[in-house]
């Protein structure tokens, strides 16, 4: 059947699809005719790969709040990986499925069995520095994984409409000579991770054009939170500052302090993901704050919260943390998302650092 770019609410089975956004709000239910006289309400259903990650955990929370049934793909490991979604595990509408994004056959079976209305493909080996050490595995998860998701959605759309969100990245722009970056800025990837994301981006566009799939890319700039992995620079800094103050750590080893990123809050960005799939037409969006800061700025802002500490006294450079090819300066223009989705970030740079510092020093409440 495939996506039809119109207000057509009837699908090939004669079922009625309710408009997903109503007067600025959302209908978590699909309305289906039943026995020609009455209607039944069917709960909307989402499938999230990467549900245990930073974004997956916030997105699962958001969708459950909106009344969705949520299916999540979780890797089987010998240690607990469900830390970020621990508080959601008892929710009656959250369903966990073991699996790996590199196992396409299993993914296909899960998608066909769970019949989601929306698929959010967030699973990835997402660490850029590590992708230089693990280029093949990174490509298998980022690029191969995206292709498996698109194939599964293509199969599912034979029987029902399905929408796919692909987690694309500002890393794809690399060191392009154009600021701010928009939806039409050229890609110039600088790492195995970014190369794989570019491939996944184009596959997503091609499944939309070739197979009529409702598939859309969110080109998200860096977004952080108290749930950010400890090996990404922002969380590494806020965690270290808190530990140094408590006397649990002496030094903080970092790489390039001059790199500039457009840092936003992950809670705001998962809201954009959801809005992208509620839009009338599948299209790609840059999601960013429009403001860029260096790693040095992030250190300044973090240590402002610690009166007795100066970061210059504790930070040392470790050449192992310098990347073979670095992305120097990213800043995004998300006016398309503001115009078409009504999306704007709510948390600014100072607010983000405060949130993370308060969490890591134990005085804040997690958001």
Q: In what order do the strands lie in the sheet with 285-287?
A: 94-98, 69-74, 45-49, 118-121, 163-169, 214-220, 285-287
- The residue assigned the tokens 């034979």 is 158
The answer to whether residue 236 forms part of the interface with ligand GDD (CB under 6 A) is yes
The answer to whether residue 104 forms part of the interface with ligand NAP (CB under 6 A) is no
> CA 273 to CA 267: how far, in whole Å?
10
Among 295, 299, 341, 353, binds ligand GDD (CB under 6 A): 295
Segment interacting with ligand NAP (CB under 6 A) among 217-225, 235-243, 313-321, 341-349: 217-225
Among 261, 275, 293, 359, binds ligand GDD (CB under 6 A): 261
**Residue (65 or 319) nearer to ligand GDD, CB:** 319
The answer to whether residue 126 forms part of the interface with ligand GDD (CB under 6 A) is yes
- 141: its two tokens: 């998860």
3 state DSSP class of 68? coil
Among 71, 84, 129, 293, binds ligand GDD (CB under 6 A): 129
The answer to whether residue 101 forms part of the interface with ligand GDD (CB under 6 A) is no
- 108: its two tokens: 């296909």
- From 120, 165, 193, 207, active-site residue: 193
- 160: its two tokens: 């029902």
Under rule CB under 6 A, how many of the chain's residues touch ligand NAP? 24
Count CB atoms within 10 A of the CB of residue 140: 17
- 90: its two tokens: 């008892």
| Contact assessment for residue 141 and residue 74, using Cβ atoms and an 8 Å cutoff | no
The answer to whether residue 226 forms part of the interface with ligand NAP (CB under 6 A) is no
Among 20, 131, 138, 141, binds ligand NAP (CB under 6 A): 141
Segment interacting with ligand NAP (CB under 6 A) among 37-45, 99-107, 278-286, 353-361: 99-107
DSSP assigned state of 306: -
Q: Is 169 a catalytic residue?
A: yes
Supply the residues annotated as catalytic: 169, 171, 193
């Amino acid at each position: 059947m495939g996506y039809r770019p119109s207000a057509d609410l009837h699908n090939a089975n004669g079922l009625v699809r309710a408009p997903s956004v109503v007067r600025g709000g959302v209908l978590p239910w699909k309305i289906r005719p039943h026995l020609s006289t009455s209607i039944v309400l069917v709960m909307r259903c989402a499938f999230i790969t990467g549900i245990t990650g930073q974004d997956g955990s916030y997105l699962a929370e958001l969708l459950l709040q909106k009344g969705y049934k949520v299916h999540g793909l979780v890797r089987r490991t010998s240690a607990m990986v469900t830390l970020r979604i621990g508080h959601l595990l008892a929710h009656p509408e959250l369903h966990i499925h073991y699996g790996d994004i590199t196992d396409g056959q299993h993914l296909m079976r899960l998608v066909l069995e769970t019949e989601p209305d929306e698929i959010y493909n967030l699973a990835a080996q997402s660490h850029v520095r590590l992708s230089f050490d693990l280029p093949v595995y990174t490509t298998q998860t980022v690029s191969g994984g995206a292709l498996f998701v698109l194939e599964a959605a293509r199969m599912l759309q034979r029987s029902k409409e399905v929408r796919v969100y692909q987690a694309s990245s500002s890393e794809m722009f690399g060191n392009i000579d154009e600021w701010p970056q928009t939806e039409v800025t050229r890609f110039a990837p600088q790492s195995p991770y970014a190369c794989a994301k570019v491939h996944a981006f184009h596959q997503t566009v091609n499944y939309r054009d070739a197979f009529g799939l409702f598939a859309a890319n969110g080109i998200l700039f860096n977004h952080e939170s108290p749930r950010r992995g400890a090996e990404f620079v922002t969380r590494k800094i806020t965690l270290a500052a808190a530990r140094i103050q408590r006397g649990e750590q002496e030094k903080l080893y970092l790489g390039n302090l001059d790199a500039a990123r457009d840092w936003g809050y992950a809670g705001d960005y998962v809201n954009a993901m959801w809005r992208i799939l509620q839009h009338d037409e599948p299209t790609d969006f840059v999601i960013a704050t429009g403001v860029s800061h260096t790693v040095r700025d992030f250190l300044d802002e973090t240590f402002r919260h610690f009166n007795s500490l100066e970061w210059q006294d504790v930070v040392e450079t470790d050449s192992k943390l310098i990347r073979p090819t670095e992305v120097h300066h990213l800043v995004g223009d998300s006016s398309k998302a503001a115009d078409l989705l009504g999306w704007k970030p709510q948390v600014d740079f100072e607010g983000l650092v405060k949130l993370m510092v308060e969490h890591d020093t134990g005085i804040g409440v997690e958001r």
